[in-house]
A and B are shown apart, each in its own frame.
Chain A
Amino acid sequence: MPGDVGHSATGELLAVRGLTKAYGDFLVLDDVGFSLPAGAAAGVVGPNGSGKSTLLRCVVGTESADSGTVLLDGVVLDETASEVRAALAGVLDDVDFFTDLSVVDHLRLYAWAHGATDPDDVVDGVLAELGLAAAADQLPSTLSSGQRRRLALAACFVRPRRLLVLDEPEQRLDAAGRVWLAERLRGEKAAGTAVLIASHDDDLLDAVVDMRVHVGA
Protein backbone atom coordinates (compact mmCIF):
# COMPACT_ATOMS: atom_id res chain seq x y z
CA MET A 1 0.00 0.00 0.00
CA PRO A 2 1.56 3.33 -0.99
CA GLY A 3 2.69 5.31 1.96
CA ASP A 4 3.05 2.41 4.38
CA VAL A 5 6.40 3.01 6.02
CA GLY A 6 8.06 -0.20 6.99
CA HIS A 7 11.63 -1.37 6.47
CA SER A 8 13.27 -1.94 3.12
CA ALA A 9 14.72 -5.38 2.50
CA THR A 10 17.77 -3.74 0.91
CA GLY A 11 18.40 -1.42 3.86
CA GLU A 12 17.76 1.66 1.74
CA LEU A 13 15.69 4.31 3.42
CA LEU A 14 15.30 6.39 0.27
CA ALA A 15 15.63 5.19 -3.31
CA VAL A 16 15.13 7.35 -6.38
CA ARG A 17 14.86 5.51 -9.69
CA GLY A 18 14.71 6.93 -13.20
CA LEU A 19 13.31 10.27 -12.14
CA THR A 20 12.51 12.46 -15.14
CA LYS A 21 10.94 15.88 -15.17
CA ALA A 22 10.46 18.34 -18.03
CA TYR A 23 8.86 21.74 -18.48
CA GLY A 24 7.44 21.48 -21.98
CA ASP A 25 10.34 20.12 -24.01
CA PHE A 26 12.94 21.46 -21.59
CA LEU A 27 14.29 18.44 -19.74
CA VAL A 28 15.21 19.37 -16.16
CA LEU A 29 15.81 15.93 -14.68
CA ASP A 30 16.86 13.08 -16.93
CA ASP A 31 16.72 9.61 -15.47
CA VAL A 32 18.09 10.54 -12.04
CA GLY A 33 18.66 7.67 -9.66
CA PHE A 34 20.37 7.08 -6.33
CA SER A 35 19.72 5.43 -3.00
CA LEU A 36 20.33 6.51 0.55
CA PRO A 37 20.49 4.31 3.63
CA ALA A 38 19.46 5.45 7.10
CA GLY A 39 22.18 7.41 8.88
CA ALA A 40 23.81 8.54 5.63
CA ALA A 41 23.81 11.84 3.75
CA ALA A 42 23.74 12.57 0.04
CA GLY A 43 24.58 15.93 -1.48
CA VAL A 44 22.78 17.03 -4.63
CA VAL A 45 25.23 19.14 -6.62
CA GLY A 46 25.11 20.93 -9.93
CA PRO A 47 25.19 24.43 -11.40
CA ASN A 48 22.31 26.91 -11.16
CA GLY A 49 19.31 25.67 -13.12
CA SER A 50 20.50 22.08 -13.16
CA GLY A 51 17.40 20.82 -11.36
CA LYS A 52 18.58 20.40 -7.76
CA SER A 53 15.54 22.05 -6.22
CA THR A 54 13.22 20.30 -8.67
CA LEU A 55 14.70 16.96 -7.64
CA LEU A 56 14.12 17.73 -3.96
CA ARG A 57 10.57 18.90 -4.62
CA CYS A 58 9.85 15.66 -6.48
CA VAL A 59 11.30 13.66 -3.58
CA VAL A 60 9.11 15.36 -0.96
CA GLY A 61 6.08 15.31 -3.24
CA THR A 62 5.43 19.02 -3.66
CA GLU A 63 6.02 18.57 -7.37
CA SER A 64 5.15 15.54 -9.44
CA ALA A 65 7.74 13.91 -11.69
CA ASP A 66 6.88 12.93 -15.26
CA SER A 67 8.27 9.44 -14.74
CA GLY A 68 10.34 7.46 -12.30
CA THR A 69 9.76 6.47 -8.72
CA VAL A 70 10.73 7.62 -5.26
CA LEU A 71 10.73 4.86 -2.66
CA LEU A 72 10.76 5.25 1.10
CA ASP A 73 11.59 2.01 2.88
CA GLY A 74 11.07 0.23 -0.42
CA VAL A 75 7.53 1.51 -0.86
CA VAL A 76 6.46 4.24 -3.29
CA LEU A 77 6.66 7.50 -1.39
CA ASP A 78 3.18 8.90 -1.16
CA GLU A 79 3.20 12.30 0.50
CA THR A 80 -0.53 12.06 1.22
CA ALA A 81 0.08 9.25 3.73
CA SER A 82 0.38 10.55 7.29
CA GLU A 83 3.13 8.01 8.08
CA VAL A 84 5.26 9.49 5.31
CA ARG A 85 4.65 13.03 6.51
CA ALA A 86 5.71 11.97 9.99
CA ALA A 87 8.95 10.52 8.63
CA LEU A 88 9.90 13.23 6.14
CA ALA A 89 11.10 16.65 7.28
CA GLY A 90 12.21 19.25 4.81
CA VAL A 91 13.11 22.85 4.20
CA LEU A 92 12.74 23.82 0.57
CA ASP A 93 12.30 27.18 -1.08
CA ASP A 94 8.56 27.42 -0.42
CA VAL A 95 8.59 28.09 3.33
CA ASP A 96 6.16 30.75 4.49
CA PHE A 97 5.05 31.96 7.91
CA PHE A 98 1.82 33.01 9.59
CA THR A 99 2.10 36.78 9.81
CA ASP A 100 0.46 36.96 13.24
CA LEU A 101 2.03 33.95 14.91
CA SER A 102 5.20 34.39 16.98
CA VAL A 103 8.34 32.35 16.44
CA VAL A 104 7.74 30.17 19.47
CA ASP A 105 4.06 29.68 18.63
CA HIS A 106 4.96 28.48 15.14
CA LEU A 107 7.28 25.87 16.58
CA ARG A 108 4.98 24.81 19.44
CA LEU A 109 2.08 24.34 17.06
CA TYR A 110 4.26 22.34 14.69
CA ALA A 111 5.76 20.14 17.41
CA TRP A 112 2.34 19.47 18.95
CA ALA A 113 0.80 18.65 15.56
CA HIS A 114 3.56 16.07 15.13
CA GLY A 115 2.70 14.39 18.40
CA ALA A 116 5.38 15.87 20.65
CA THR A 117 4.67 14.84 24.23
CA ASP A 118 6.11 18.08 25.63
CA PRO A 119 6.18 20.68 22.84
CA ASP A 120 7.34 23.48 25.13
CA ASP A 121 10.41 21.55 26.22
CA VAL A 122 11.30 20.46 22.68
CA VAL A 123 10.85 23.95 21.29
CA ASP A 124 12.79 25.71 24.07
CA GLY A 125 15.76 23.43 23.46
CA VAL A 126 15.78 24.01 19.71
CA LEU A 127 15.31 27.78 20.10
CA ALA A 128 18.32 27.93 22.39
CA GLU A 129 20.38 25.77 20.06
CA LEU A 130 19.58 27.95 17.08
CA GLY A 131 20.10 31.23 18.89
CA LEU A 132 16.48 32.21 18.48
CA ALA A 133 15.54 32.31 22.17
CA ALA A 134 15.73 36.10 22.29
CA ALA A 135 13.45 36.32 19.27
CA ALA A 136 10.92 33.79 20.54
CA ASP A 137 8.11 36.32 20.92
CA GLN A 138 8.77 38.15 17.68
CA LEU A 139 6.56 37.90 14.63
CA PRO A 140 8.34 36.42 11.59
CA SER A 141 8.15 39.64 9.60
CA THR A 142 10.36 41.34 12.21
CA LEU A 143 13.09 38.72 11.84
CA SER A 144 16.14 39.12 9.64
CA SER A 145 16.39 36.82 6.63
CA GLY A 146 19.01 34.77 8.47
CA GLN A 147 16.73 34.40 11.49
CA ARG A 148 13.84 33.36 9.27
CA ARG A 149 16.11 30.72 7.78
CA ARG A 150 16.95 29.52 11.26
CA LEU A 151 13.24 29.38 12.11
CA ALA A 152 12.59 27.25 9.01
CA LEU A 153 15.43 24.92 10.00
CA ALA A 154 14.17 24.83 13.59
CA ALA A 155 10.88 23.43 12.31
CA CYS A 156 12.76 20.32 11.18
CA PHE A 157 14.19 19.72 14.61
CA VAL A 158 11.05 20.07 16.73
CA ARG A 159 9.39 17.12 15.01
CA PRO A 160 10.15 13.44 14.39
CA ARG A 161 12.14 12.65 11.27
CA ARG A 162 13.77 9.76 9.51
CA LEU A 163 14.58 11.60 6.30
CA LEU A 164 15.73 15.22 6.22
CA VAL A 165 15.53 17.04 2.88
CA LEU A 166 17.21 20.45 2.75
CA ASP A 167 17.53 22.83 -0.16
CA GLU A 168 20.59 25.04 0.28
CA PRO A 169 20.12 25.25 4.07
CA GLU A 170 23.30 27.29 4.45
CA GLN A 171 21.75 30.21 2.59
CA ARG A 172 21.65 33.42 4.67
CA LEU A 173 23.35 31.75 7.64
CA ASP A 174 26.39 33.46 9.12
CA ALA A 175 29.71 31.64 9.55
CA ALA A 176 28.81 30.41 13.02
CA GLY A 177 25.45 29.27 11.73
CA ARG A 178 27.09 27.22 8.98
CA VAL A 179 29.40 25.55 11.49
CA TRP A 180 26.40 24.77 13.69
CA LEU A 181 24.51 23.39 10.69
CA ALA A 182 27.32 21.01 9.76
CA GLU A 183 27.57 19.73 13.33
CA ARG A 184 23.82 19.36 13.63
CA LEU A 185 23.58 17.39 10.40
CA ARG A 186 26.37 15.08 11.53
CA GLY A 187 24.40 14.56 14.72
CA GLU A 188 21.30 13.77 12.68
CA LYS A 189 23.20 11.11 10.78
CA ALA A 190 24.49 9.63 14.02
CA ALA A 191 20.89 9.43 15.24
CA GLY A 192 19.95 7.39 12.17
CA THR A 193 18.37 10.10 10.08
CA ALA A 194 19.08 10.09 6.36
CA VAL A 195 19.94 13.52 4.98
CA LEU A 196 19.43 14.68 1.40
CA ILE A 197 20.88 18.13 0.88
CA ALA A 198 21.30 20.38 -2.14
CA SER A 199 24.06 22.92 -1.69
CA HIS A 200 26.76 24.97 -3.37
CA ASP A 201 28.84 25.04 -0.17
CA ASP A 202 31.67 22.56 -0.59
CA ASP A 203 32.76 22.94 3.03
CA LEU A 204 29.32 21.93 4.26
CA LEU A 205 29.11 19.06 1.81
CA ASP A 206 32.59 17.83 2.70
CA ALA A 207 31.67 17.89 6.37
CA VAL A 208 28.34 16.11 6.04
CA VAL A 209 27.72 14.04 2.94
CA ASP A 210 28.79 10.50 2.18
CA MET A 211 27.94 10.63 -1.52
CA ARG A 212 27.18 13.22 -4.17
CA VAL A 213 24.39 13.12 -6.71
CA HIS A 214 25.31 15.16 -9.77
CA VAL A 215 22.43 16.66 -11.71
CA GLY A 216 22.52 18.66 -14.92
CA ALA A 217 25.96 17.27 -15.77
Chain B
Amino acid sequence: MTHQRADRFGGVVPPAGAVRDRLRAHRAKPRSLTARLADAYGRSFNVAVIGGIVISAANSGLETAVSPDYAIPAERVELLRWFVALAVSLLLALLGRLALAVGPVLVGATWQTWLLSTPVSRRELLTARFLAVLGVGGVAALAVAVLAVVAVRPSDVLTPLGPAVPVGVVLAALAVGVQSNPAGARLVRRVLDGFAVLCAVGFGVLALAGPAVPAFPFAPEPLTTSLIALVAAALAGWWAYTALGRLSRASLAAGTEFADATVTAVNWLDPALLSSTLAVRRARAVGRVRPARLRGGRTGGCCARNSSATGATRWACCCTPGWCRCRTSRRRRCPRT
Protein backbone atom coordinates (compact mmCIF):
# COMPACT_ATOMS: atom_id res chain seq x y z
CA MET B 1 0.00 0.00 0.00
CA THR B 2 2.90 2.33 0.73
CA HIS B 3 4.38 1.71 -2.72
CA GLN B 4 0.97 2.15 -4.31
CA ARG B 5 0.60 5.43 -2.44
CA ALA B 6 4.06 6.60 -3.48
CA ASP B 7 3.18 5.94 -7.11
CA ARG B 8 -0.04 7.88 -6.85
CA PHE B 9 1.71 10.91 -5.38
CA GLY B 10 4.92 10.76 -7.33
CA GLY B 11 3.98 13.69 -9.56
CA VAL B 12 5.56 17.09 -9.60
CA VAL B 13 4.34 19.67 -7.12
CA PRO B 14 2.94 22.51 -9.25
CA PRO B 15 4.21 26.08 -9.06
CA ALA B 16 2.16 28.58 -7.06
CA GLY B 17 1.08 30.46 -10.17
CA ALA B 18 -0.45 27.32 -11.64
CA VAL B 19 -2.26 26.64 -8.35
CA ARG B 20 -3.70 30.15 -8.33
CA ASP B 21 -4.77 29.79 -11.98
CA ARG B 22 -6.44 26.46 -11.28
CA LEU B 23 -8.16 27.85 -8.20
CA ARG B 24 -9.43 30.76 -10.28
CA ALA B 25 -10.66 28.39 -12.98
CA HIS B 26 -12.45 26.18 -10.46
CA ARG B 27 -14.07 29.17 -8.83
CA ALA B 28 -15.15 30.65 -12.14
CA LYS B 29 -17.51 27.81 -12.93
CA PRO B 30 -20.23 28.26 -10.34
CA ARG B 31 -19.86 32.02 -10.08
CA SER B 32 -22.87 33.85 -11.39
CA LEU B 33 -23.02 37.47 -12.43
CA THR B 34 -24.91 38.18 -9.21
CA ALA B 35 -22.11 36.64 -7.13
CA ARG B 36 -19.50 38.69 -8.95
CA LEU B 37 -21.54 41.85 -8.52
CA ALA B 38 -21.89 41.05 -4.81
CA ASP B 39 -18.11 40.68 -4.52
CA ALA B 40 -17.54 43.92 -6.42
CA TYR B 41 -20.02 45.68 -4.16
CA GLY B 42 -18.26 44.42 -1.04
CA ARG B 43 -14.85 45.58 -2.28
CA SER B 44 -16.21 48.93 -3.47
CA PHE B 45 -17.86 49.45 -0.11
CA ASN B 46 -14.57 48.85 1.72
CA VAL B 47 -12.68 51.20 -0.62
CA ALA B 48 -15.40 53.86 -0.42
CA VAL B 49 -15.56 53.87 3.38
CA ILE B 50 -11.81 53.83 3.98
CA GLY B 51 -11.12 56.18 1.05
CA GLY B 52 -13.85 58.52 2.25
CA ILE B 53 -12.30 58.75 5.68
CA VAL B 54 -8.85 59.48 4.22
CA ILE B 55 -10.12 62.03 1.69
CA SER B 56 -12.25 63.76 4.31
CA ALA B 57 -9.30 64.04 6.68
CA ALA B 58 -6.96 65.27 3.90
CA ASN B 59 -9.54 67.74 2.69
CA SER B 60 -10.06 69.31 6.09
CA GLY B 61 -6.29 69.46 6.62
CA LEU B 62 -5.71 71.13 3.26
CA GLU B 63 -8.51 73.59 3.85
CA THR B 64 -6.84 74.61 7.07
CA ALA B 65 -3.41 74.84 5.43
CA VAL B 66 -4.46 77.00 2.49
CA SER B 67 -6.69 79.20 4.57
CA PRO B 68 -5.45 82.80 4.63
CA ASP B 69 -6.07 82.79 8.37
CA TYR B 70 -3.61 79.93 8.83
CA ALA B 71 -0.18 81.33 9.51
CA ILE B 72 2.62 79.95 11.61
CA PRO B 73 4.11 82.60 13.90
CA ALA B 74 7.80 83.00 13.08
CA GLU B 75 8.92 82.27 16.63
CA ARG B 76 7.10 78.96 16.57
CA VAL B 77 8.39 77.56 13.27
CA GLU B 78 11.24 75.60 14.86
CA LEU B 79 8.99 74.32 17.63
CA LEU B 80 6.48 73.16 15.04
CA ARG B 81 9.20 71.35 13.07
CA TRP B 82 10.32 69.50 16.19
CA PHE B 83 6.73 68.72 17.05
CA VAL B 84 5.92 67.39 13.58
CA ALA B 85 9.14 65.35 13.42
CA LEU B 86 8.21 63.77 16.73
CA ALA B 87 4.62 63.19 15.64
CA VAL B 88 5.76 61.58 12.38
CA SER B 89 8.16 59.32 14.29
CA LEU B 90 5.39 58.33 16.71
CA LEU B 91 2.92 57.70 13.89
CA LEU B 92 5.39 55.50 12.02
CA ALA B 93 6.19 53.58 15.21
CA LEU B 94 2.49 53.03 15.88
CA LEU B 95 1.95 51.93 12.28
CA GLY B 96 4.85 49.50 12.69
CA ARG B 97 3.33 48.21 15.92
CA LEU B 98 -0.02 47.76 14.17
CA ALA B 99 1.67 45.97 11.28
CA LEU B 100 3.32 43.51 13.65
CA ALA B 101 0.03 43.01 15.50
CA VAL B 102 -1.78 41.92 12.34
CA GLY B 103 1.08 40.16 10.60
CA PRO B 104 1.69 42.19 8.43
CA VAL B 105 1.34 39.30 5.95
CA LEU B 106 -1.76 37.40 6.95
CA VAL B 107 -3.69 34.50 5.51
CA GLY B 108 -7.21 33.33 6.30
CA ALA B 109 -8.23 29.87 7.42
CA THR B 110 -9.26 28.76 3.92
CA TRP B 111 -5.87 29.38 2.39
CA GLN B 112 -4.24 27.93 5.49
CA THR B 113 -6.21 24.71 5.10
CA TRP B 114 -6.08 24.13 1.36
CA LEU B 115 -2.98 25.90 0.07
CA LEU B 116 -0.42 26.59 2.80
CA SER B 117 -0.52 22.99 4.02
CA THR B 118 0.67 21.77 0.61
CA PRO B 119 4.32 21.55 -0.51
CA VAL B 120 3.71 24.33 -3.04
CA SER B 121 6.29 27.11 -2.60
CA ARG B 122 5.07 29.28 0.26
CA ARG B 123 7.15 32.20 -0.93
CA GLU B 124 5.45 32.18 -4.33
CA LEU B 125 2.01 31.74 -2.77
CA LEU B 126 2.55 34.78 -0.55
CA THR B 127 4.20 37.06 -3.09
CA ALA B 128 1.01 38.89 -4.10
CA ARG B 129 0.08 39.55 -0.47
CA PHE B 130 3.66 40.67 0.23
CA LEU B 131 3.52 43.20 -2.59
CA ALA B 132 0.18 44.44 -1.27
CA VAL B 133 1.76 44.94 2.16
CA LEU B 134 4.60 46.93 0.60
CA GLY B 135 2.05 49.04 -1.28
CA VAL B 136 0.06 49.73 1.87
CA GLY B 137 3.30 50.68 3.65
CA GLY B 138 4.21 53.13 0.90
CA VAL B 139 0.76 54.73 0.83
CA ALA B 140 0.64 54.98 4.64
CA ALA B 141 4.03 56.70 4.74
CA LEU B 142 2.97 59.06 1.95
CA ALA B 143 -0.17 59.94 3.94
CA VAL B 144 1.97 60.70 7.00
CA ALA B 145 4.28 62.86 4.86
CA VAL B 146 1.31 64.77 3.43
CA LEU B 147 0.09 65.46 6.95
CA ALA B 148 3.57 66.74 7.84
CA VAL B 149 3.59 69.02 4.78
CA VAL B 150 0.16 70.34 5.67
CA ALA B 151 1.33 71.10 9.19
CA VAL B 152 4.74 72.63 8.46
CA ARG B 153 4.22 73.96 4.94
CA PRO B 154 7.91 73.75 4.00
CA SER B 155 9.22 75.77 1.09
CA ASP B 156 10.34 72.55 -0.61
CA VAL B 157 7.61 69.92 -0.34
CA LEU B 158 9.81 67.35 -2.09
CA THR B 159 11.97 67.01 1.01
CA PRO B 160 9.33 65.09 2.96
CA LEU B 161 7.29 63.76 0.03
CA GLY B 162 10.15 62.45 -2.15
CA PRO B 163 11.43 59.68 0.10
CA ALA B 164 8.05 58.98 1.76
CA VAL B 165 6.94 56.02 -0.37
CA PRO B 166 10.30 54.18 -0.32
CA VAL B 167 10.59 54.78 3.43
CA GLY B 168 7.14 53.23 3.86
CA VAL B 169 8.22 50.29 1.73
CA VAL B 170 11.36 49.87 3.85
CA LEU B 171 9.33 49.82 7.07
CA ALA B 172 6.77 47.39 5.65
CA ALA B 173 9.53 45.10 4.36
CA LEU B 174 11.28 45.18 7.73
CA ALA B 175 7.99 44.25 9.42
CA VAL B 176 7.61 41.25 7.08
CA GLY B 177 11.18 40.17 7.73
CA VAL B 178 10.67 40.45 11.47
CA GLN B 179 7.43 38.45 11.19
CA SER B 180 9.44 35.43 10.09
CA ASN B 181 11.27 35.40 13.42
CA PRO B 182 8.89 35.20 16.43
CA ALA B 183 11.58 36.05 18.98
CA GLY B 184 12.71 39.00 16.89
CA ALA B 185 9.12 40.17 16.50
CA ARG B 186 8.66 40.19 20.28
CA LEU B 187 11.85 42.21 20.69
CA VAL B 188 10.89 44.72 18.00
CA ARG B 189 7.44 45.15 19.55
CA ARG B 190 9.09 46.03 22.86
CA VAL B 191 11.48 48.44 21.14
CA LEU B 192 8.58 50.16 19.38
CA ASP B 193 6.67 50.41 22.66
CA GLY B 194 9.71 51.99 24.27
CA PHE B 195 10.13 54.35 21.34
CA ALA B 196 6.50 55.45 21.64
CA VAL B 197 7.06 56.23 25.32
CA LEU B 198 10.17 58.23 24.40
CA CYS B 199 8.13 60.19 21.86
CA ALA B 200 5.55 60.95 24.55
CA VAL B 201 8.35 62.21 26.79
CA GLY B 202 9.62 64.28 23.86
CA PHE B 203 6.22 65.95 23.53
CA GLY B 204 6.39 66.82 27.21
CA VAL B 205 9.86 68.33 26.79
CA LEU B 206 8.67 70.39 23.80
CA ALA B 207 5.69 71.63 25.77
CA LEU B 208 7.98 72.76 28.58
CA ALA B 209 10.60 74.30 26.29
CA GLY B 210 8.13 76.24 24.15
CA PRO B 211 9.59 78.46 21.43
CA ALA B 212 13.04 78.27 23.07
CA VAL B 213 13.90 75.01 21.30
CA PRO B 214 17.11 74.82 19.25
CA ALA B 215 16.91 75.05 15.47
CA PHE B 216 15.78 71.84 13.79
CA PRO B 217 19.10 70.28 12.69
CA PHE B 218 17.97 68.14 9.77
CA ALA B 219 17.65 69.65 6.33
CA PRO B 220 18.14 66.72 3.95
CA GLU B 221 18.62 67.25 0.25
CA PRO B 222 15.54 65.73 -1.41
CA LEU B 223 17.19 63.97 -4.35
CA THR B 224 19.93 62.32 -2.30
CA THR B 225 17.47 61.31 0.42
CA SER B 226 15.08 59.83 -2.13
CA LEU B 227 17.84 57.86 -3.84
CA ILE B 228 19.09 56.47 -0.53
CA ALA B 229 15.53 55.56 0.42
CA LEU B 230 15.01 53.84 -2.94
CA VAL B 231 18.15 51.73 -2.52
CA ALA B 232 17.14 50.87 1.05
CA ALA B 233 13.66 49.92 -0.17
CA ALA B 234 15.12 47.60 -2.80
CA LEU B 235 17.45 45.92 -0.29
CA ALA B 236 14.82 45.60 2.44
CA GLY B 237 12.26 44.38 -0.09
CA TRP B 238 14.58 41.65 -1.32
CA TRP B 239 15.47 40.61 2.22
CA ALA B 240 11.79 40.38 3.16
CA TYR B 241 11.00 38.46 -0.03
CA THR B 242 13.59 35.83 0.87
CA ALA B 243 11.99 35.58 4.34
CA LEU B 244 8.51 34.87 2.92
CA GLY B 245 9.23 31.15 2.73
CA ARG B 246 10.03 31.12 6.45
CA LEU B 247 6.71 32.60 7.54
CA SER B 248 5.04 29.98 9.68
CA ARG B 249 1.34 29.22 9.62
CA ALA B 250 1.23 30.39 13.24
CA SER B 251 2.55 33.84 12.34
CA LEU B 252 0.36 34.09 9.22
CA ALA B 253 -2.81 33.27 11.14
CA ALA B 254 -2.15 35.35 14.24
CA GLY B 255 -3.54 38.64 12.95
CA THR B 256 -6.41 37.39 10.80
CA GLU B 257 -9.05 37.79 13.50
CA PHE B 258 -7.74 41.23 14.41
CA ALA B 259 -7.61 42.35 10.76
CA ASP B 260 -11.16 41.13 10.07
CA ALA B 261 -12.42 42.97 13.15
CA THR B 262 -10.57 46.12 12.07
CA VAL B 263 -12.15 46.09 8.60
CA THR B 264 -15.61 45.55 10.12
CA ALA B 265 -15.06 48.31 12.68
CA VAL B 266 -13.93 50.75 9.97
CA ASN B 267 -16.81 49.84 7.66
CA TRP B 268 -19.35 50.38 10.43
CA LEU B 269 -17.43 53.34 11.84
CA ASP B 270 -17.73 51.62 15.22
CA PRO B 271 -14.49 51.08 17.16
CA ALA B 272 -16.44 49.05 19.71
CA LEU B 273 -16.48 46.19 17.19
CA LEU B 274 -12.70 46.06 17.55
CA SER B 275 -12.63 46.26 21.31
CA SER B 276 -13.94 42.72 21.90
CA THR B 277 -11.17 41.29 19.70
CA LEU B 278 -8.60 43.34 21.56
CA ALA B 279 -10.07 42.17 24.86
CA VAL B 280 -9.74 38.54 23.79
CA ARG B 281 -6.11 39.06 22.73
CA ARG B 282 -5.38 40.73 26.03
CA ALA B 283 -7.09 37.93 27.96
CA ARG B 284 -5.03 35.31 26.13
CA ALA B 285 -1.87 37.19 27.04
CA VAL B 286 -2.89 37.44 30.69
CA GLY B 287 -4.02 33.84 30.99
CA ARG B 288 -5.57 33.82 34.42
CA VAL B 289 -6.49 36.33 37.10
CA ARG B 290 -7.22 36.19 40.80
CA PRO B 291 -11.01 35.96 41.32
CA ALA B 292 -12.46 39.12 42.88
CA ARG B 293 -14.19 38.71 46.24
CA LEU B 294 -17.40 40.53 47.05
CA ARG B 295 -16.85 43.08 49.80
CA GLY B 296 -19.18 44.18 52.60
CA GLY B 297 -22.16 42.40 54.15
CA ARG B 298 -24.51 40.09 52.36
CA THR B 299 -26.98 42.86 51.49
CA GLY B 300 -24.19 45.13 50.32
CA GLY B 301 -22.72 42.38 48.23
CA CYS B 302 -26.08 41.50 46.85
CA CYS B 303 -27.43 44.77 45.70
CA ALA B 304 -26.16 47.78 43.83
CA ARG B 305 -27.84 51.10 44.14
CA ASN B 306 -28.44 53.14 41.06
CA SER B 307 -30.20 56.48 41.03
CA SER B 308 -32.14 56.97 37.85
CA ALA B 309 -32.81 60.26 36.15
CA THR B 310 -36.17 60.47 37.87
CA GLY B 311 -34.61 60.18 41.29
CA ALA B 312 -36.31 56.90 42.04
CA THR B 313 -34.18 54.30 43.71
CA ARG B 314 -33.38 51.16 41.77
CA TRP B 315 -31.98 48.00 43.23
CA ALA B 316 -30.23 45.56 41.00
CA CYS B 317 -29.61 42.02 42.08
CA CYS B 318 -26.12 40.67 41.46
CA CYS B 319 -26.01 37.93 44.02
CA THR B 320 -25.69 34.20 43.95
CA PRO B 321 -29.06 32.73 42.99
CA GLY B 322 -30.72 30.97 45.86
CA TRP B 323 -30.29 33.29 48.79
CA CYS B 324 -31.35 36.63 47.36
CA ARG B 325 -34.12 36.80 44.79
CA CYS B 326 -34.92 40.45 44.44
CA ARG B 327 -35.37 41.79 40.91
CA THR B 328 -34.66 45.19 39.48
CA SER B 329 -37.54 47.32 40.65
CA ARG B 330 -38.33 50.98 41.04
CA ARG B 331 -39.92 50.66 44.42
CA ARG B 332 -38.89 47.46 46.02
CA ARG B 333 -35.82 47.23 48.17
CA CYS B 334 -33.83 44.11 48.53
CA PRO B 335 -35.15 42.03 51.42
CA ARG B 336 -32.89 41.77 54.43
CA THR B 337 -31.48 38.32 54.69
A106-122 near B? 1/0 per residue, CB < 8 Å: 10111011111110011
Residue numbers in A under 8 Å from B112 (CB-CB): 62, 94, 96
**Interface status of A34 (Cβ within 8 A of chain B):** no
A115 touches B119 (CB 8 A): yes
Shortest CB-to-CB span from A124 to chain B, Å, is 12
Query: Is B9 a contact of A191 with CB atoms below 8 Å?
Result: no
- Which residues of chain A in 51-66 are interfacial with respect to chain B, using CB atoms and an 8 Å cutoff? 61-64
Per-residue CB proximity of A79-99 to B under 8 Å, as 1/0? 110110110001000111110
B267-293 CB contacts (< 8 Å) to partner A: 284-288
Cβ-defined contact, A96 with B120, below 8 A: no
| Smallest Cβ-Cβ distance to B282: which chain A residue | A24
Chain A, Cβ-Cβ closest to B116: A85
Contact of A113 among B6, B19, B110, B285 (CB under 8 A): B19
B31 partner, pick from A100, A106, A191, beta carbons under 8 A: A100
**A26 surroundings in chain B (CB, below 8 A):** 287-288
At the interface, yes or no: B11 with Cβ under 8 Å from chain A? yes
**Does B182 touch A at the CB level, under 8 Å?**
yes
Given contacts A79-B249, A159-B9, contact A25 B119 (CB under 8 A): no
Contact-residue size bin, chain B (C-beta under 8 Å from the other chain): 35 or more
Question: Smallest Cβ distance from B149 to chain A, in angstroms?
Answer: 42
B127 at the interface (CB under 8 A from A): no
A109 partner, pick from B10, B23, B246, beta carbons under 8 A: B23
A22 and B287 CA atoms in complex are apart in Å by 8
User: Contact: B2 with A192, CB < 8 Å?
Assistant: yes
Interface of A is mostly: loop
Report whether B114 and A82 are in contact in the complex, using a CB–CB cutoff of 8 Å.
no
- Tell me if B310 counts as interface (CB < 8 A to partner A): no
Contact digits for B83-113, partner A, Cβ 8 Å, 1 yes 0 no: 0000000000000000000000000111011
A23, A82, A192: the one contacting B119 at CB < 8 Å is: A82
Residue of A nearest to B251 (CB): A64
B179-220: CB near A (< 8 Å → 1, else 0) gives 000100000000000000000000000000000000000000
Query: B231 at interface (Cβ–Cβ under 8 A)?
Result: no
Task: Write out the residue numbers on chain B whose beta carbons fall within 8 Å of the beta carbon of A79.
Answer: 248-249
Interface membership of B308, Cβ < 8 A = no
The answer to whether A207 has its CB under 8 Å from any CB of chain B is no
Q: How large is the interface on A (under 10, 10 to 19, 20 to 34, 35 or more residues)?
A: 35 or more
Q: Contacts A64-B248, A80-B248, A117-B8: A85 and B119 contacting too (C-beta < 8 A)?
A: yes
Nearest CB on A from B166, distance (A): 29
Q: Which chain B residue lies CB-closest to A152?
A: B113
User: B287's contact among A25, A114, A117, by CB below 8 Å, is which?
Assistant: A25
Asked if A24 meets B287 with Cβ closer than 8 Å, knowing A85-B119, A117-B7, the reply is yes
- How many contacting A-B pairs (Cβ < 8 A)? 130
The answer to whether B110 and A98 touch across the interface, beta carbons within 8 angstroms, is yes
Q: Give Cα A136–Cα B89 distance, bound, in whole angstroms.
A: 55
Cα–Cα, bound, A61→B249 (Å): 7
Instruction: Determine the distance from Cα of A190 to Cα of B250 in the docked complex, in whole angstroms.
Output: 32
Tell me the residues in window 1-41 of chain B with beta carbons closer than 8 Å to chain A beta carbons.
Answer: 1-2, 5-14, 19, 22-23, 26-27, 29-31, 35
Check if A105 sits within 8 Å of B26, measured CB to CB.
yes
Chain A residues, CB < 8 A from B113: 94-97, 155
Residues from chain A with Cβ under 8 Å of B26 in the complex: 101-102, 105, 108-109
Whether B248 and A117, one on each chain, are in contact in the complex, defined by CB atoms closer than 8 angstroms, is no
CA of A187 to CA of B5, assembled, Å:
13
Give Cα A118 to B5, complex, Å: 12
**Which residues of B148-168 have CB atoms within 8 Å of chain A's CB atoms?**
none
A94 touches B118 (CB 8 A): no
- A62 and B9 contacting across the interface, CB-CB below 8 Å: no
Which A147-170 residues have C-beta < 8 A from chain B? Answer: 155, 159-160
Residue of B nearest to A84 (CB): B119
Q: Is A213 an interface residue (CB 8 A)?
A: no
Partner of A98, one of B2, B27, B284: B27
B290, chain A: closest CB distance, angstroms: 11
Contact flag A100-B287 (CB < 8 Å), given A110-B118, A115-B12, A122-B8: no
Distance to closest chain B CB from A162 (angstroms): 9
Residues in chain A within 8 A of chain B (CB atoms): 22-26, 61-64, 79-80, 82-83, 85-86, 90, 94-98, 100-102, 105-106, 108-110, 112-118, 121-122, 139, 155, 159-160, 187, 190-192
9 A-B pairs (CB sep. < 8 Å): A97-B110, A97-B113, A98-B110, A106-B114, A113-B14, A113-B114, A113-B120, A117-B10, A190-B1
